[in-house]
Amino acid sequence: MPTVVARLPAAKRHHFTEPLGPLFTDTESLLEAAGEPIVAIGDVVTAHLGAAGCQPTLSVVDGRTERGPIPEWVQTDRPAAAIERPVENPAGTITAELVDAIEAGLDTSEPTRVVVEGEEDLAVLPAVLLAPTGATVVYGQPGEGMIAAAVDGPTRARCRDRLDLLDHEAEFWASIR
- 143-154 pLDDT, tens digit per residue, is 899 999 999 999
The reported pLDDT for the residue numbered 175 is 85
- In this structure, the dihedral spanned by the alpha carbons of residues 51, 138, 116 and 83, taken in order and rounded to 10 degrees, is 60
Whether residue 8 lies inside any domain: the answer is: no
Residue 18 confidence class, pLDDT cut points 50, 70, 90 = very high
Q: What angle do CA 35, 36, 41 make, to 5 degrees?
A: 90
30: three-class secondary structure by DSSP: helix
Closest-CA residue to 2 (of 108, 75, 91): 91
Alpha-helical (H) ranges within the chain are 27-33, 43-51, 72-77, 96-106, 124-130, 153-165, 170-174
Domains contained in the chain, number: 1
Residue 61 counted as an annotated binding residue: no
Whether residue 88 lies inside any domain: the answer is: yes
Sign of CA dihedral 44, 62, 11, 96: negative
The reported pLDDT for the residue numbered 72 is 76
Whether residue 70 lies inside any domain: the answer is: yes
Domain limits at 124?
19-174
Whether residue 140 lies inside any domain: the answer is: yes
Whether residue 7 lies inside any domain: the answer is: no
Whether residue 6 lies inside any domain: the answer is: no
Please determine, for residue 40, whether its predicted confidence score (pLDDT) is greater than 70. yes
pLDDT tens-place string over residues 43-72: 999 999 999 999 999 999 998 877 677 767
Measure the N-to-C terminal CA separation of the chain; round to a whole number of Å.
25
Residue 4 counted as an annotated binding residue: no
pLDDT tens-place string over residues 79-115: 888 999 999 999 999 999 999 999 999 999 999 999 9
Identify the bridge partners of residue 116 per DSSP, sorted by sequence position: 87
Residue 161 counted as an annotated binding residue: no
Residue 87 counted as an annotated binding residue: no
Identify the bridge partners of residue 6 per DSSP, sorted by sequence position: 94, 168
Predicted model pTM? 0.94
Give CA–CA dist 6/173, Å, rounded: 9
Task: Report how far Cα 139 is from the mean position of its chain's Cα atoms.
Answer: 6
The reported pLDDT for the residue numbered 177 is 64
Residue 62 counted as an annotated binding residue: yes
Whether residue 28 lies inside any domain: the answer is: yes
